[in-house]
Chain A
């Protein structure tokens, strides 16, 4: 169809939406009674408080390192279990692979549910039911991050070109064979990135999980803070920080090697 006159220009509603959003933001600030001058007074107090951490006490280093390793192990096993769960559920939550739409819905909702349960809450539940120690921490991390990993994997699987799955269907391959020969090799790079990100996140989270009694360095930090032992606390924070920096660099190095 061809026409001779320029059609009227489509309306651009962006300015309207922007002003509405800004108005809403202002309304929220006004409603919450946020006072910016408090922030200015607070800065001086915060400076005084932070100065108490000035002299880290490294005399307990070997026990701290032991706790840090326990934290790392917690994160590692949490990630491994999460990987196994996610890899099992993800194909059912990927449109091209799922056996039927009903199972697809269930798998998606299961992943949503796991993601929606905060890991601190899960850790509390597992600590209450299984007792103190790193195991409830591992399970809490595993369940929560399996939700994330499963969603990432399912989406990676959906991004694989349909033809790759069709080629497998055309040779008479079954469900598992499609996953092993079409999905995983095609999405390997993204998925390794996802797993490293989740591990990185789990190390940070495992350091906090100690607060609810799920083992690791978090409990020690919690105690030190509660007893106002700022020098011990600062030593612990330094160890956690260094570990996270090392893990972060290590995972970006692995990603670079894989590419």
Chain B
């Protein structure tokens, strides 16, 4: 059985904008999936539906045999890591605390009130920092790090959740080419070595072909391509981006708000 399965998933925002239209998708455990598509195609919405940050308005999403519903959002999120374009670290706290945030779901609000974490959490966080090769920065403030380093802290935070799935929403869109490649290599390594399923939203077709096991493409909320990197020919790429370019750009402002 598939690790993640989406059945007839629709997402309509309160303003009537339809971001996902009838998405059916099965994803096997341990794969590295790249999601392509022009801005506003629904890539972010797709990822954010999977951990219910933006719950789907119709259809069913099942992760590891558990179907998402209002009551189990927090439980599901606890073991689904998320990596953001803007990193979303807490700037004023040190790197270690930012990674420990990944452990919060396991603790009561009372111990969190005093920033208390058990020793075992520190060991988990240390292992996560070793994985992303940032042990030397453990006690630096998060906002003193470079963009690439901050994104690696973001990945360490996701790893601290001991996830089976990591969702990365345009993780390299704010990074320079060198850091971009480092971050993708790191995600690929995590996927291959730990068997964690990784789903990455990307704008760069080349990176998708280089790193992914499987590529999915969205356009205007619909699934327009699903296959291996080899199957993504130049003609297919044009189909995903080129021919429908006019259609997606005439309401550019609307589109920007959801990227």
The residues of A with any CB-CB pair to B shorter than 8 Å are: 161, 163-164, 166-177, 180-182, 185-186, 188
Contacts and interface: CB of A to CB of B under 8 A. Distances in A.
B93 A185 contact: yes
The 10 closest A-B pairs by CB, nearest first: A172-B105, A176-B109, A172-B78, A167-B88, A172-B77, A170-B82, A163-B88, A173-B104, A185-B92, A172-B74
B145 to A, nearest CB: 16
Contacts of A188: 92
B63 to A, nearest CB: 13
Contacts of A170: 51, 53, 77, 80-82
Contacts of A171: 77-78, 81-82, 101-102, 104-105, 157, 161
Contacts, number: 79
Contact of A163 (B75, B84, B112): B84
A177 B108 CA distance: 9
Nearest to B250: A1
Given A173-B105, A176-B112, 15 more contacts: A164-B90, A167-B157, A170-B80, A170-B82, A171-B104, A172-B73, A172-B74, A172-B78, A174-B109, A177-B107, A180-B112, A181-B90, A181-B97, A181-B104, A186-B91
Contact of A185 (B77, B90, B104, B107): B90
Contacts of B101: 167-168, 171, 173, 181
Nearest to B92: A185
Per DSSP, are chain A's interface residues mostly helix, strand or loop, or mixed?
helix
Most B-side CB within 10 Å, residue of A167, A168, A177, A180: A167
Given A172-B75, A172-B78, A167 B109 contact: no
Contacts of A169: 53, 77
B256 interface: no
A190 B86 CA distance: 22
Nearest to A176: B109
B53 A172 contact: no
B115 interface: yes
A166 B54 CA distance: 10
12 contacts: A161-B88, A163-B86, A166-B88, A167-B88, A167-B89, A167-B101, A170-B80, A171-B161, A177-B107, A177-B109, A181-B104, A185-B92
Interface in B61-117: 73-82, 84, 86, 88-93, 97, 101-102, 104-105, 107, 109, 112-113, 115
Contacts of A164: 88, 90
Nearest to B110: A176
Contacts of A186: 90-92
B102 A176 contact: no
Contacts of A163: 84, 86, 88
Contact of B82 (A167, A175, A182): A167
Contacts of A175: 109
A180 to B, nearest CB: 5
Interface in B143-171: 157, 161
Most central of B51, B88, B107 by chain A CB within 10 Å: B88
A163 B112 CA distance: 20
A181 B112 contact: yes
A158 B61 CA distance: 31
Contacts of A172: 73-79, 104-105, 161
Contact of B53 (A161, A166, A173, A174): A166
A166 B109 contact: no
A252 B73 CA distance: 45
Given A180-B112, A186-B91, A168 B104 contact: yes
